[in-house]
Amino acid sequence: MSTAISVVVFDVNETLSDMSPMGERFSEVGAPAELAKLWFAVLLRDGFALAASGDNGSFAALGAGALRGLLTGRKLNRPLDAAVDHIMGGLAGLGVHSDVPEGIRALAAAGFTLITLSNGSARIAEQLFSEAGVRDVFESLLSVEDAPAWKPARASYEYAAAASGVDPTGMLLVAVHPWDIHGAARAGLRTAWLNRTGASYPGYFEAPEFTVTALTDLPAAVAAAH
């Protein structure tokens, strides 16, 4: 019999925060809006590479560096450094997805302790949830800034477990990214894939225990499993 879930740990970027407005930031500096997705993928790639080699990079530094690489040589409407600053500034102005407030409050009402574990900064997460009016629902906002490595390295999830004072088997990781689901599962956590887009889950990753299309569906799914 599996350990009962006591802590729900959320990924932040794209899982809770709606990053679609970042495309507008690219357009505003004269770059293609679709470059936003490539930028985020490059940022993650470089963070993963540092984690794999035993280092821990800053999300902001990696984000700015990835932007400089992608924007160099493009015809922008402002100097490169100003364009990088404008795009990076968009992270502080993001909002949460529409299903987030109701979903997390329902999980809290069901008795779960809620925390976050982000590859991004705790400061940005603090602002995001404060402006959404849900900061009070989370017990703590954890970032890999304070962990040995980025997700999906095992050490990042173990850091969250130690900070929460629970065994990893009593934690449920909620994320939209299959790589995060896989990493958490390998570290002993239970997992829930938030699949808002109807995507197919990659067969080469550890499958999630739960799959929901909206965060508001997760409380019932977990309750049914219990």
**Token pair listed for 39:** 């930028």
Beta carbons of 129 and 96 less than 8 angstroms apart: yes
Report residue 128 as tokens. Answer: 């995001």
Instruction: List C-alpha distances in Å: 215 to 16, 161, 166, 193.
Output: 9, 22, 23, 10
Does residue 38 contact residue 129 with C-beta atoms inside 8 Å?
Answer: no
Mean pLDDT estimate for the chain: 96
Structure confidence at residue 3 (pLDDT):
80
Residue 2 scores a pLDDT above 90: no
What pLDDT, in 10s, does the model give residues 35-77?
A: 999 999 999 999 999 999 999 999 999 999 999 999 999 999 9
| Local confidence band at 196 (pLDDT 50, 70, 90 cut-offs) | very high
User: What is the reported pTM?
Assistant: 0.95
Look at residue 1 in the predicted model and tell me its pLDDT: 45
Rounded average pLDDT over 211-223: 96
Dump pLDDT digits (tens) for 129-142. Answer: 999 999 999 999 99
First to last CA, the chain: 10
pLDDT at 225: 85
37 by Cβ neighbours in 10 Å (0-12 / 13-18 / 19+) ranks as middle
Residue 149 backbone dihedrals phi, psi, to 5 degrees = -160, 165
Q: Which residues contact 57 (CB under 8 A, 6 or more apart)?
A: 46, 47, 50, 150
| Cis omega (within 30 of 0) for bond into 152 | yes
| 9 secondary structure, DSSP code | E
The pLDDT assigned to 66 comes to 98
Phi, psi of 25 (to 5 degrees): -65, -40
Element (H, E) at 8: strand 7-10
Mean pLDDT, residues 180-199: 98
Contact between residue 174 and residue 11 where contact means Cβ atoms under 8 Å apart = yes
- Whether the CA torsion 28, 29, 35, 40 is positive or negative: it is negative
